[in-house]
Amino acid sequence: MAESDGMPRARLEKADRFLRTAQLALRDGDDEGCVSRAYYAVFHSAVALLEGQVGGSRIRGYRPLSHLEVLRRCAEWNQRYTRLNAAGLLRGQRDLHTSLRRLHDWREQADYDLGKTE
């Protein structure tokens, strides 16, 4: 995809699709599929923050090198842009970074471990 102002919107549309898929998986009792798709919905939303406007700074054409890089960036955001935490956190988590980190751990468990993920 070419660098454009539409990238954050396309990323958020993808996140929305993944969230709908997570809801369907949850309804069908597929906890592993639900966790994986929910994580990727949040992951793509976080990447959209980097692709778009964050506190007046813009990283054009940003493409994450790894999931851990996005987690690191979220930690930086929490120090600099505390209003991002108003976007919603996992129950019991204090900030966007720890919420995404918890989802990342759950997604790895769901994708790679044997046994039921709850």
- 3-state helix/strand/coil string of 94-114: CCHHHHHHHHHHHHHHHHHCC
Is 118 a member of any domain?
A: no
The pTM is what? 0.72
pLDDT at position 21 is 96
**pLDDT at position 76, please?**
75
82 lies in some domain: yes
pLDDT tens over the chain, length 118 residues: 344 456 778 888 999 999 999 999 999 999 999 999 998 998 888 888 776 654 444 555 556 668 888 777 777 766 666 555 555 555 666 666 777 788 888 889 888 888 766 6
Residue 59: per-residue pLDDT: 53
Instruction: Write out the E strands in the chain.
Output: 53-54, 57-58
The confidence score (pLDDT) of residue 55 equals: 42
What is the per-residue pLDDT for 56? 44
Q: Is residue 23 part of a domain?
A: yes
Overall number of domains in the chain: 1
DSSP, collapsed to helix, strand or coil, labels residue 18 as helix
Residue 1 located in a structural domain: no
Q: To the nearest 5 percent, what fractions of the chain are helix, strand and coil?
A: 65, 5, 30
Cβ within 8 Å of residue 19, ≥6 positions away? 37, 38, 41
Q: Which domain holds residue 20?
A: 7-112
In a domain, 96, yes or no: yes
Q: Which two tokens stand for residue 36?
A: 């994986």
